[in-house]
Amino acid sequence: MPRLRRWAKKLGLVLLELVVVLTVVSVVYNVATRDRVKPASAFYGGPFVRVDGKLVAYRHWGAHGTPVILLGGFIVPSSVWDGVGRRLARAHRVFAIDLPPFGYTERKGPYTLRGWVDLVRAFERRFDLRRPVVVGHSLGAAVVVADALRHPRETRGIVLLDGDAISAGGAPSWVSGVLVGPWVTSAYRIGTSSDWIFRRGLAGGLSEPSSVHAPLPRRVGAAVQGERERSTRFVRC
């Protein structure tokens, strides 16, 4: 037992040292790359709106009719809804939101289900969207269901496209608060600086490969838009 305790102590010290070293390296890397971070407005002309303390990028189609909100999946920007938005705009006011940290919305946490729901609710209040139909694809489907469960009387209806709608639990909320810091910032900057990683992630956010978007071209926006237009037939409000 004494030998086991000594080894456990040594292992604990090694892990602690590793955490400290990784944290210091992450902080130094974040400071060194801080000037490389450009505002979303440098890449996207808008529109933007400030809601829930964040500068949120969105797209808008239609001027009349009942409101519809479109939420994309993991890593997918709101531009993929262009075909759907234009069709629904014939009879609806349609909004597509970039959920942070995806698309052009300000990358400011927390990146949690509750945080996304709060952002959607704040967006609805900002534009006075009363009892909208909310459409979610993939990750967006979970946000849609969570929103409807928390605010059932304020949602006209929901549409789910290829998404896991009910939260399966997971780690306690304090875990994300601890992890979202220098480590996650470093990992995010490294990951998004790679075209190959980004394209692989975006491809994984779509449904099974089809002639519409496989192989994924370098101009991924056109492929994603094609996939979303193919899904239009499932959206009826």
Q: What CATH number has the domain bearing residue 157?
A: 3.40.50.1820
* HSE-CB for 162 with a 13 A CA cutoff: 14
| Burial grade of 165 (CB within 10 A; 0-12, 13-18, 19 or more) | middle
Model confidence pLDDT, tens digit, residues 205-215:
554 433 333 34
What token pair was written down for 97?
A: 């939101």
For the chain, the domain total comes to: 1
Q: Quickly state the pLDDT bin for 8 (edges 50, 70, 90).
A: confident
Alpha-carbon span 123 to 112, nearest angstrom: 16
Confidence check: pLDDT of 229 > 70: no
Spatial neighbors of 134 by CB under 8 A, at least 6 apart, are 68, 69, 71, 120, 144, 147, 148, 155, 157, 158, 159
Spatial neighbors of 101 by CB under 8 A, at least 6 apart, are 107, 109, 111, 188
Quick check: is 126 in a domain? yes
Q: Quickly state the pLDDT bin for 69 (edges 50, 70, 90).
A: very high
SS3 51: strand
Confidence check: pLDDT of 219 > 50: no
Query: Cα–chain-centroid distance for residue 40?
Result: 15
The letter for the amino acid at 194 is S
Quick check: is 107 in a domain? yes
Quick check: is 205 in a domain? yes
Contact criterion met (CB below 8 Å) for 66 and 132: yes
Quick check: is 228 in a domain? yes
| Percent of the chain topping pLDDT 90 | 31
Model confidence pLDDT, tens digit, residues 119-162:
999 999 999 999 999 999 988 999 999 999 988 889 899 999 88
Give this prediction's pTM.
0.67
> What is the domain extent for residue 87?
39-165+177-234
pLDDT average, residue stretch 198-209: 57
Quick check: is 8 in a domain? no
Task: Tell me which range, 22-31, 49-58, 117-126, 163-172, is most confidently predicted by mean pLDDT.
Answer: 117-126
pLDDT average, residue stretch 64-87: 92
Quick check: is 5 in a domain? no
Q: Report pLDDT for 136.
A: 93
Quick check: is 125 in a domain? yes
Q: Report pLDDT for 71.
A: 96
Q: Report pLDDT for 46.
A: 86
Quick check: is 20 in a domain? no
List the single range of 5-9, 71-75, 78-82, 145-149 with lowest mean pLDDT. 5-9
Rounded mean pLDDT of the chain? 77
